[in-house]
Amino acid sequence: MNIVGIDLGTTNSLISVFTDDGPELIPNALGDFLTPSAVGLSGKGQVLVGQAAKDRLVTHPQLTQSRFKRYMGTNWGQKLGRKHYRAEDLSALVLGSLKADAEAHLGAPVERAIISVPAYFNDVQRKATMAAGQIAGLKVERLINEPTAAALAYGLNDKDGESTFLVVDLGGGTFDVSILEMFDGVMEVRASAGDAFLGGEDFTDVVTKHFAEKLDVNLDKFSAKKAAMLRDLADQAKAKLSSEHEVSFKFIDDKSNEQTLSLTRNKFEELTEGLLKKLRHPIQRAVMDAGLRAENIDQVVLVGGATRMPVVRSLIARMFKTFPVHNINPDHVIAMGAAVQAGLVSRHSALDDIVMTDVCPFTLGTEVAIEIARGQHENGHFQPIIERNTVIPVSRSVRNATIHKGQTQLNLRIFQGEAPRVNNNVFLGQVNVSIPKNNKEHEAVDIRFTYDVSGVLEVLVEVLSTKEVSRLVIEGNPGALTKSEIDARFKELDKLKVHPRDETVNVAFTARLAKAYENHLGDTRAEIQHMITVFEAVLARQNKHEITETREEIEPHLKAFEDRSIF
Ligand code: ADP
Ligand code: MG
């Protein structure tokens, strides 16, 4: 049974499959790999998807919808004819069309898919994407972050290598940046950042405005049809400028006068300076979040049609002093990676030695009260437990105390997001815990979050004095797994549910440090004390990768001290 990979883009969508020859794109009925993410109604009320709908954006803007991906998971909706469509309904129509193309091409039914989403999609947007798949009759096996898919497409080319990738994806409406590490066939995402409202379309908008100024027309007063035509022209001008230094077009204005519009690459660069500035920030943040510097990046991978613009390429080349790799077409990379993921899910034998790890794209935590004055607490603060960009699966715990002595109930609210106040984050669920009445002391609870690659979060709350544990399972994608499948997964993750401080290797290492401290005096002792402080701080952060690295860094120094111990 085929599992397909789908790049459900803002502007264009693609479908692919993993074959014995590796990932392969599937052409649509018109023979193109790119299907515009556009939906429209024909005069007869027939639903049109793809190029046909896109072409009618100009002639029938009222009957056509595009760029709806950015409204996934919101209440946004549009009427087409008599029917009301939400973003997921429109996406479902695009998915349905891709599914039909794949079935025609493969000569077999297609029922299972991997769909890519921007790394910064929150839980609600991810659910909406799953829902779109379901409406289209697809069982969505897994969502894959777009940049992860891109790296996976490239990782396969160089699977014995060891390198750090920066993936820069500038599509039509979204911008995603990720840092990934490939080591011994394991691909690990170290950081991701982005801007959900920045893309190639914004460059087109700038050119459209510029043309309108040249024509001396007010775009808002222009007829919808003429405005769409002008925008279409601006889009062509932008794309042509990626390979030419100057472009010019004829345009028939509202009063049927023929006008010539031209644009040079230099002028284009000047017009888009503001947008280029906005591209820098997420790139810098991703590099910083990964704890790296520009010079640590080995390969820069460009994804998305808009990275074809020479201005974007040179910005990145300047930032990283290296030329981006682009042996895979930037429009195809994500779909190719989604196919690789599909191959992994269906356990294709060609992929035996590739392991994927993923990161949690957002921070998960609980609501806590903060003491603002003696005895006075303020609710509504966010306490992160699993931080954004933590490699998953992961399990982290924190110890909290009740606010009041004698309190018998704790209502713990769980959130996802990056804001310091929970109101600005996404509410995921609540655990109600009974606390034994204790008028003398505050009761302590351990809150453990375990997050699995399938997007399931398990919350365990243990009241220390009674040892009673309450459990809540929050599914990123309700219904995708059965209850017993979820339980089985979390059983497997039990080994993660140990504080690194209590893991044998770390217990032993801490003991060696303590012994070395005992055996030395003076400056050496101070140095060992420093190692202990560093290692304890790293343990407290509970990041396995960092702990192993730190242990390996300290090891030779500790060994040297042990060898010169005086007894
Ligand atoms: P998405 O992932 O959002 O569907 P794509 O990766 O397909 O987007 O990129 C679409 C964007 O790339 C559009 O804004 C389009 O105008 C732009 N684009 C495509 N080809 C070129 C080109 N040659 N030069 C500049 N921009 C281009
Ligand atoms: Mg894309």
Contact status, residue 341 vs residue 152, Cβ threshold 8 Å: yes
All residues with CB under 5 Å from ion ligand 2:
9, 171, 304
Q: Which of 213, 164, 215 lies closest to 188, judged by CA?
A: 164
481-492 burial by CB neighbour count: b if 16+ within 10 A, else e? beeeebeebbee
Please give the distance, rounded to the nearest whole angstrom, from the Cα atom of residue 541 to the centre of ligand 1.
40
Secondary structure element (H or E) that encloses residue 205, with its range: helix 200-215
Rounded CA-CA distance 158/82 in Å is 52
Q: Which ligand is nearest to the CA of 10?
A: 1
Residue closest via CA to ligand 1's atom 6 equals 304
DSSP 220: T
495: which residues sit within 8 A by CB, 6+ positions away?
none
Instruction: Write the DSSP string, 437-490.
Output: --SSSPPEEEEEEEE-TTSEEEEEEEETTTTEEEEEEEESSTTSS-HHHHHHHH
Please give the distance, rounded to the nearest whole angstrom, from the Cα atom of residue 477 to the centre of ligand 1.
30
Looking at residue 217, its pLDDT comes to 86
* Choice from 176, 238, 247, 276 to test ligand 1 binding pocket (greatest atom count within 8 A of CB): 238
Please give the distance, rounded to the nearest whole angstrom, from the Cα atom of residue 333 to the centre of ligand 2.
9
Looking at residue 347, its pLDDT comes to 72
Place of tokens 């997420």: 282
* Ligand 1 touching residue 282 (CB < 6 A): no
Contact status, residue 476 vs residue 428, Cβ threshold 8 Å: no
522: which residues sit within 8 A by CB, 6+ positions away?
none
Please give the distance, rounded to the nearest whole angstrom, from the Cα atom of residue 242 to the centre of ligand 1.
11
Q: Which ligand is nearest to the CA of 91?
A: 1
Instruction: Write the DSSP string, 523-566.
Output: HHHHHHHHHHHHHHHHHHHT-HHHHHHHHHHHHHHHHHHHHT--
Contact status, residue 365 vs residue 428, Cβ threshold 8 Å: no
Instruction: Write the DSSP string, 250-317.
Output: EEE-TTS-EEEEEEEHHHHHHHTHHHHHHHHHHHHHHHHHTT--GGG--EEEEESGGGGSHHHHHHHH
Instruction: Give the other-Cβ count within 10 Å of 270's Cβ.
Output: 10
Please give the distance, rounded to the nearest whole angstrom, from the Cα atom of residue 54 to the centre of ligand 1.
14
Looking at residue 91, its pLDDT comes to 97
Q: Of ligand 1's atoms, which has the minimum distance to the CA of residue 173?
A: 3
Q: Of ligand 1's atoms, which has the minimum distance to the CA of residue 242?
A: 24
Q: Which ligand is nearest to the CA of 198?
A: 1
3-state helix, strand, coil in the chain (%, to 5): 40, 30, 30
DSSP 174: -
* Ligand 1 touching residue 520 (CB < 6 A): no
Rounded CA-CA distance 487/507 in Å is 29
Residue 233 is which amino acid? Answer: L
Q: Of ligand 1's atoms, which has the minimum distance to the CA of residue 9?
A: 4
Q: Of ligand 1's atoms, which has the minimum distance to the CA of residue 13?
A: 4
**What are the residue numbers of the active site?**
7, 69, 146, 169
Rounded CA-CA distance 325/157 in Å is 12
Contact status, residue 425 vs residue 417, Cβ threshold 8 Å: yes
Contact status, residue 378 vs residue 369, Cβ threshold 8 Å: yes
Write out the chain's pLDDT in tens, 567 residues: 789 999 999 999 999 999 988 899 999 999 999 999 999 998 888 899 999 999 888 788 888 898 899 899 888 998 888 889 999 999 999 999 999 999 999 999 999 999 999 877 777 888 899 999 999 999 998 888 888 888 888 875 555 667 888 999 999 988 989 898 877 666 777 888 888 789 999 999 999 999 999 998 888 888 878 888 899 999 999 999 999 999 999 988 777 888 899 999 999 999 999 999 999 999 999 999 888 999 999 889 999 999 999 999 999 999 998 888 768 899 999 999 999 989 888 876 666 555 555 677 789 999 999 888 887 889 999 999 998 877 777 899 999 999 888 999 999 999 998 889 999 888 999 999 999 999 999 999 999 999 987 778 999 999 999 999 999 998 876 666 778 878 887 787 787 778 888 888 898 899 999 989 988 888 889 999 999 999 999 998 887 778 988 999 999 999 988 887 654
Residue 443 is which amino acid? Answer: E
Q: Of ligand 1's atoms, which has the minimum distance to the CA of residue 7?
A: 2
Q: Of ligand 1's atoms, which has the minimum distance to the CA of residue 243?
A: 23
Residue closest via CA to ligand 1's atom 8 equals 171
Rounded CA-CA distance 412/430 in Å is 5
Report the DSSP beta bridge partners of residue 250. 260
Please give the distance, rounded to the nearest whole angstrom, from the Cα atom of residue 181 to the centre of ligand 2.
21
Please give the distance, rounded to the nearest whole angstrom, from the Cα atom of residue 139 to the centre of ligand 2.
21
* Ligand 1 touching residue 176 (CB < 6 A): no
Looking at residue 567, its pLDDT comes to 47
- Number of residues in the chain: 567
Instruction: Write the DSSP string, 90-141.
Output: HHHHHHHHHHHHHHHHHTS---EEEEEE-TT--HHHHHHHHHHHHHTT-EEE
Q: Which ligand is nearest to the CA of 330?
A: 1
Number of helices followed by number of strands (H, E) in the chain: 14, 28
105, burial (CB in 10 Å: exposed 0-12, middle 13-18, buried 19+): middle
* Choice from 8, 12, 69 to test ligand 1 binding pocket (greatest atom count within 8 A of CB): 12
Q: Which two tokens stand for residue 342?
A: 């599909």
* Ligand 1 touching residue 61 (CB < 6 A): no
Looking at residue 129, its pLDDT comes to 94
Looking at residue 122, its pLDDT comes to 77
DSSP 398: E
Whole-model pTM above 0.85?
no
* Ligand 1 touching residue 23 (CB < 6 A): no
Please give the distance, rounded to the nearest whole angstrom, from the Cα atom of residue 243 to the centre of ligand 1.
14
* Choice from 308, 311, 314 to test ligand 1 binding pocket (greatest atom count within 8 A of CB): 308
Q: Which ligand is nearest to the CA of 117?
A: 2
* Ligand 1 touching residue 235 (CB < 6 A): yes
DSSP 375: T
